[in-house]
Amino acid sequence: MFKRSKTLWTAWKILVATSRDGTLKVARPGEPVRELPSPLRLRPAAKLASVFMDLATAASRERHHPQAIALLGEAEHLFESVHASPRRNRWVAEILLRRGEELRLAGRYGDSQEALTRAGRLAEDDPGNPLRLAAVVNAQGILAKDTGRYGDALAHYGFARILMEADFGQDDPALAAVHHNLAGLLCAQRRYAEAEEPARHAVALRKRSPSPDPEGLAADLSVLGSILLGLGRLDEAEHLYLQSKNVWTERYGLEHYEVAAQLNGLASVHQARGEFESAERDFKEALRLKQKCLGAGHRETAVLLNNLGALEMDRGHTDAAAPLYEWALLTFRNALGDDHPDTVLCAENLVRVSRQTGSWAGAKSDMDSVPPLCRDHSGAEIPDALTNRNPQ
């Protein structure tokens, strides 16, 4: 399947399979298959579930989200025959949280919402573990942001922060993720001046942690880079994108999803400087990597197509920009629906280029089916700055 999972299988020396009648069986290499008892006891279920969860982690790091989703589904299945108890419910909540995050990354937003809702119910029934509830609420905030419900995302991040500060205090490194997500939300709304403080706070908290987290820090630097790009501080943004890219390249090589994310940022820096050939090179490489990792129909693929369209507009190549915007708009609509802010923004870009190329009638019909850019799903006002041409 992929290199890390094969290594883990060998290390654990366990193979789990489900027969046609649904009976769970387990075997170690060189030993006969034996059927597990039903109902399964908590301890063996937890041991086997931890195998699937480790494999899912390895799959997710390499952006093999369908495999991770399937592995976490198998982990959840293990607990179906385990007698209900607080410990059993904690395991299931953790698996559902992880599965909800993987489903979101795969672009399956409805399924992600269902998994996170179930995880939230279990976490709410476990008052002795508020941090799991905070993790679920934070994940629900990320899902709300990705689906354009910015008001809901802000509320979720605020609640997660309250839960974590009650347990850790205000300056614990564990809060870096919440500050990171808040900065990303404000950046998505083009509220760059407001976003800089939480982004820098996330970086400071991550650096203060006694347990180094180079990947978390690289993600924080990337968000800060996007904010500084929006503020026009191009040299600082470029430096942060390069720092982040180096971390991901050293850990996973040049073909990784996160490398594509940094290339997208670097391309935007080049574009802002008028370095169009460098921008085109990096945008196209980022598009290739994201299509490879996520598929051609993912929202992040559409972002790259939109950005390439904006680049062609800057170069004065309106005929080249139009099909890129059309392809991006179709992908956004299929992945996110007509009323997501990124869909609306892309439709506006297509209208703008169509006015210049004389194909206004067709573009206007596209725009007429998209709601006005005034509110997100939650009813919160969308700032005028969202009309910036390049969704991040």
Q: Is residue 225 part of a domain?
A: no
Rounded Cα distance between 180 and 173, Å, is: 11
Q: Is residue 235 part of a domain?
A: no
Q: Is residue 50 part of a domain?
A: yes
Condensed to tens digits (0 to 9), the pLDDT of residues 19-57 reads: 334 444 544 444 544 445 555 677 778 888 888 899 899
Of 73, 106, 127, the position where a domain reaches its end is 127
130-146 vs 86-105: helix crossing angle, rounded to 10: 20
Of 105, 127, 149, the position where a domain reaches its end is 127
Q: Is residue 100 part of a domain?
A: yes
Q: Is residue 72 part of a domain?
A: yes
pLDDT band at 10 (very low <50, low <70, confident <90, very high): very low
Q: What is the pLDDT of residue 39?
A: 54
Of 63, 98, 127, the position where a domain reaches its end is 127
Q: Is residue 351 part of a domain?
A: yes
> From residue 37, how far is each of 17, 45, 88 by CA, in Å?
14, 10, 17
Q: What is the pLDDT of residue 48?
A: 84
Query: Domain limits at 28?
Result: 1-127
Amino acid at 93: A
Residue with structure tokens 């799959």? 59
Condensed to tens digits (0 to 9), the pLDDT of residues 313-369 reads: 999 999 999 999 999 999 999 999 998 999 999 999 999 888 887 664 454 455 454
Report whether 184 contacts 223 (CB < 8 A).
yes
Residue 309 has pLDDT above 70, yes or no: yes
Report whether 218 contacts 203 (CB < 8 A).
no
Q: Is residue 309 part of a domain?
A: no
Q: What is the pLDDT of residue 365?
A: 52
> From residue 258, how far is each of 62, 238, 253, 310 by CA, in Å?
10, 15, 10, 22
Residue with structure tokens 């009323």? 339
Question: Which among 361, 359, 304, 297 has a CA at the least distance from the CA of 333?
Answer: 297
214-230 vs 257-273: helix crossing angle, rounded to 10: 20
Domain count, the chain: 2
Higher pLDDT, 383 or 167: 167
Residue with structure tokens 């206004």? 360
Q: Is residue 255 part of a domain?
A: no
Q: What is the pLDDT of residue 182?
A: 96
Report whether 287 contacts 308 (CB < 8 A).
yes
> From residue 324, how far is each of 33, 129, 319, 346, 349 by CA, in Å?
54, 48, 10, 10, 10
Coil vs helix vs strand at 17:
strand
Q: What is the pLDDT of residue 359?
A: 61
Condensed to tens digits (0 to 9), the pLDDT of residues 68-117 reads: 999 999 899 888 878 888 889 999 999 999 999 999 999 999 999 999 99
